[in-house]
Amino acid sequence: MMQHSEEAAFVINRVRNHDIVVLDDFFPNLTTGFRVAEYIHYLRVFPGLLITSTIGDFKQQHAAFARSYPDLQSRVVAYDQAMLRHARLCYLNFLNNAHYHIEALETASLPFLFTLYPGGGFELSDGESRSKLRRVLGSPMLRAVISTQSVTTDVLRRLQCPVEVHECYGATINPVYLSSPGGRTESGDSRGSGPKICFVAHKYDREGRTKGYPAFVEVAATLAARCAHIEFSVVGNFGPEDIEIPHQLKARLHFKGLLPTAQLRQFLLTQNLMISPNQPYTVSGSIFDGFPTASCVEASLCGVAILCSDELDLNRFYGADEMIVCAPHASAILQAVEPLLENPLLIAQIGERGRAKSARLFSAEAQLLPRTKILRDIAAREGFSA
């Protein structure tokens, strides 16, 4: 645990009776779009809310955060367990985060709720994950769980979760993506320019197999050999050394690295098609993603046509004219992509229909307001008004 810092002491003394504390392990890093969207919203609607983080390079990340949100910087501090004694309710994201703090929460007798996203320690049919989840669900301080996927809700029901389970489909999205995608550029016109195809994900295993990166590279190499006008890009912590890049693709595949929200949106506004061939269970036999991934949602909100996989059959909202769903294998992806390359207008139409659907599903009203109400309702049951 970190020692009680002067900064934390100042915040505690200034907001001695703060009501809600958010415990996180990655914020205030600005590349975590969904956290930025959710936590900034909470900071603005709950005046007595503090965020405390265990991220290792907190000072560096906080400095960048302070430049973007100077009015909120004093309410985001490095983790100090002493803060828990002054809060009335705690909120967390991800199983690993909740499990890491569970003993501290119980020692402080602090009621809490958490969002059980895919990943972050939550895997299907995994013994360690199940053990962690049982420990958290068995805590007398747990008040509610927010589930973001139907498969997650099913797991909680099978474990006979003793508290309320609120299903809030999907994830919170930075409001910048919900504005009109003005300035969008289109490719593939009559002058011979080709479409721009991208892959956007965070790498969690050496070759990025859970995200389908090898399949994307195979598809891109095949398309590069057939068409000289397609541009390919990869966003995320990927590089040319992760897997072998075929010679015909090397000069055509551009690695953009990790991009903060504003830069990522500007990049996506230039793209036509995103390929996201996620493959659950490829590494541990239990790791999975929700549908669609946050990257797919962000790209969709920018009008990018999405071609993705859904091996767990989680899609309940997107039609075939709004999002292309196929098996996460190169042959299936190529079969789906080739007709699109012959009709660039169809790519744009799918992108626009998908954008309209995503805008409804991931609006602030659909995502942030239900979560805010859950927090307020639990606060009321704990005897205070948030």
pLDDT tens, per residue, the chain with 386 residues? 444 455 555 555 544 456 999 999 999 998 888 899 999 999 999 999 999 999 999 999 999 999 999 999 999 999 989 889 889 999 999 999 999 999 999 999 999 999 999 888 888 777 889 999 999 999 999 999 999 999 999 999 999 999 999 999 988 988 889 877 766 766 544 334 689 999 999 888 889 988 999 999 999 999 999 988 999 999 999 999 999 999 999 999 999 999 988 899 999 999 999 999 988 655 544 456 678 988 999 999 999 999 999 988 889 899 999 999 999 999 999 999 999 999 999 999 999 999 999 999 999 899 999 999 999 999 999 999 88
Residue 163 and residue 180 in one domain: no
Q: 229 and 307 in one domain?
A: yes
Sign of the Cα torsion 196, 339, 298, 23 reads negative
In a domain? residue 72: yes
Query: How high is the pLDDT of residue 82?
Result: 87
What is the predicted pLDDT for the residue at 3? Answer: 45
Torsion angle in degrees (nearest 10) through CA of 303, 309, 315, 319: 50
Residue 275, SS3 per DSSP: strand
Residue 205: the pLDDT is 84
Q: How many domains does the chain have?
A: 2
DSSP-assigned beta bridge partners for residue 324: 307
Output the CA torsion sign for 328, 256, 292, 113: positive
Whether residues 129 and 185 share a domain: the answer is: no
**47 inside domain:** yes
Task: Please check whether residues 110 and 204 belong to one and the same domain.
Answer: no
The CA distance from 277 to 215, in Å, is 7
- Kindly list the strands in the beta sheet with 112-116, ordered across the sheet, starting from the edge strand earlier in the chain: 76-78, 49-53, 20-24, 89-93, 112-116, 142-147, 164-167
**H-run or E-run covering 358:** helix 344-361
Under 8 Å between Cβ of 52 and 22: yes
Does the pTM surpass 0.85? The reply is: no
Within-domain flag for 15: yes
Both 249 and 313 in a single domain? yes
Q: Round the CA-based radius of gyration of the chain to a whole number and report it.
A: 22
Is position 49 within any domain? Answer: yes
Instruction: Please report which residue ranges of 81-231 form alpha helices under DSSP H.
Output: 95-107, 127-137, 150-158, 213-226
Between the alpha carbon of residue 46 and those of residues 49, 218, 320, the distances in Å are 5, 48, 40
Please provide the DSSP assignment of 20-86 as one string.
Answer: EEEEESSTT-TT-HHHHHHHHHHHHH-TTEEEEE--TTHHHHHHHHHHH-TTTGGGEEE--GGGGGG
Please check whether residues 162 and 188 belong to one and the same domain.
Answer: no
CATH number for the domain harbouring residue 267: 3.40.50.2000
Q: How far is CA 346 from CA 257, 277, 349, 360, in A?
A: 29, 20, 5, 22
What residue numbers bound the domain in which 348 lies?
Answer: 176-361
